[in-house]
Amino acid sequence: MTTTLSAHPAESLADKGATVELVDVVKDYAGHRALTGVSLTMAPGEFIALLGPSGCGKTTVLRALSGLEQVNGGRILIDGVDVVNTPVNKRDIGMVFQSYSLFPHMTVLQNVEFGLQMRKVDAASRRLRANEALEMVGLGELGSRYAHQLSGGQQQRVALARALVTRPRVLLLDEPLSALDAKVRVQLRDEIRRIQTDLGITTLFVTHDQEEALAVADRVAVMNAGNIEQIGTPEELYLNPATSFVADFIGLSNQLDGELDTDTGTIAIYGHELSALGAGHAGGPVTAYVRPEDIELADDGIPGTVVSTSFLGSVRRTTVRLGDGTLVAVQHDVSARPQPGDGVHVRLKGRPASARPRAS
Ligand code: ATP
């Protein structure tokens, strides 16, 4: 096999990403159903973030797709081929985990070469490809170091190079950034996205951090209790959450008492009428989810008292206690500087809101 060093390292590592399909995947752990019928289709080169609270089954989806975990039902197809009975090392998948998981007794270069060695790639090609992969993650100079001589961010870059060096058609990332500090996290997150886009590799990224998911993914799949509650672009999820769980989980929402009128498809909240998003349930008392940016400070409206206010850089967020004791977060221009104790009025801007039934 001949490998030539390309001008752009990503070019020679690139291969077309695969189509990935999970169809009704079920996974039981000793009587506990961790996945209740997960279905998900990923287009070639798509970057999907799997987002959800702890224990909802994100890692289990990833392990099922990789073959590290056998499923109890459903189908997993890579480019249309059912891989349910295909062993891990034959699924053509690269993986990066939360823990750095580098071999401590091997240099960086040897770590990256390892997967190629297992595939019996000759020494010269191995070295060339491992160097290309290290170049791609910005560590071309550090091939002779050992894991303990690297920062956490650098170790994760090596782990990424190691996952990509075999030119897999699917990349699985299980919370790869969670052990890193905030700044490195953002840097590496953006870099992963850049490399992924260059390579066109189909990628599933598990995270419980919604900001991270919304920032990098083409689409986000929100999981709850063993299944996918909604899948959509970051904008769709934020602006048009299909369920109250998604509305509550994505972004910050105020939870306000309202009355849903199913005839008009509106929710009445403190005398304001908002259109109801995805309310497939009966009318009556509901908890409505209203974003801080969908509420404003105004000259008249619902009276309340400022509890606290925080400067967030481009905007300010102020918490107001309404007459009935309800606390409302309002996002507004930094030029307004309400002080704790000030009497103010708040007004809903009239954007649609989602809701869930509330016991009256
Ligand atoms: P986290 O964000 O905390 O990592 P997660 O969404 O990735 O959570 P999973 O690790 O997929 O969740 O776990 C889903 C459910 O399956 C949980 O209730 C968990 O306790 C259970 N579970 C996971 N692995 C096993 C196992 N090996 N044996 C038994 N139960 C397991």
Q: Is the CB of 30 under 6 A from ligand 1?
A: yes
Threshold 0.75, pTM exceeds:
yes
Closest-lying ligand 1 atom to the alpha carbon of residue 56: 6
Whole-number pLDDT of residue 15: 60
Q: Where are the alpha helices (DSSP H) in 24-145?
A: 58-66, 108-118, 123-136
Which residue is associated with the tokens 């109801």?
276
- For residue 18, what is the DSSP state? P
182-199 helix and 152-164 helix, angle to the nearest 10 degrees: 20
Question: Using an 8 Å Cβ cutoff, are 338 and 297 in contact?
Answer: yes
Cα dihedral sign for 275, 278, 280, 281?
A: negative
Q: Is the CB of 227 under 6 A from ligand 1?
A: no
Whole-number pLDDT of residue 346: 96
- CA gap 42, 22 in Å, rounded: 9
Q: Going residue by residue through the chain (360 aa), what tens digit of pLDDT does each one get?
A: 333 334 444 455 556 799 999 999 999 998 899 999 999 999 999 999 999 999 999 999 999 999 999 999 999 999 999 999 999 988 999 999 888 689 999 999 999 999 999 889 999 999 999 999 999 999 999 999 999 999 999 999 999 999 999 999 999 999 999 888 888 999 999 999 999 999 999 999 999 899 899 999 999 999 999 999 999 999 999 888 888 889 888 888 899 999 999 889 999 999 889 988 875 667 899 999 899 999 999 999 999 999 999 999 999 999 999 999 999 999 999 999 999 999 999 999 988 888 888 865
- For residue 24, what is the DSSP state? E
Q: Which of 301, 298, 300 is nearest to 318 (CA)?
A: 298
How far apart, in Å, are the Cα atoms of 205 and each of 94, 216, 345?
Answer: 12, 9, 42
- CA gap 59, 52 in Å, rounded: 10
Q: Which of 274, 277, 249, 246 is nearest to 259 (CA)?
A: 274
Instruction: Return the best residue to mutate from 58, 205, 212, 249 for the ligand 1 pocket (most ligand atoms within 8 A of CB).
Output: 58
Ligand 1 center–CA 359 separation, angstroms: 31
Whole-number pLDDT of residue 355: 85
Residue 12 CB neighbours (<10 A):
18
Question: Using an 8 Å Cβ cutoff, are 210 and 217 in contact?
Answer: no
Which residue is associated with the tokens 């752990």?
29
Whole-number pLDDT of residue 61: 97
Whole-number pLDDT of residue 6: 40
Whole-number pLDDT of residue 13: 54
Whole-number pLDDT of residue 312: 92
Please tell us whether the domain made up of 11-239 is placed in CATH 3.40.50.300: yes
Q: Is the CB of 53 under 6 A from ligand 1?
A: no
Question: Are 11-239 and 252-357 equal in CATH topology?
Answer: no
Classify domain 252-357 by CATH number.
Answer: 2.40.50.140
**So where are the chain's domains?**
11-239, 252-357
Whole-number pLDDT of residue 158: 95
Whole-number pLDDT of residue 3: 36
Instruction: Record the tokens describing residue 198, joined without a space.
Output: 């260059």
Q: Is the CB of 226 under 6 A from ligand 1?
A: no
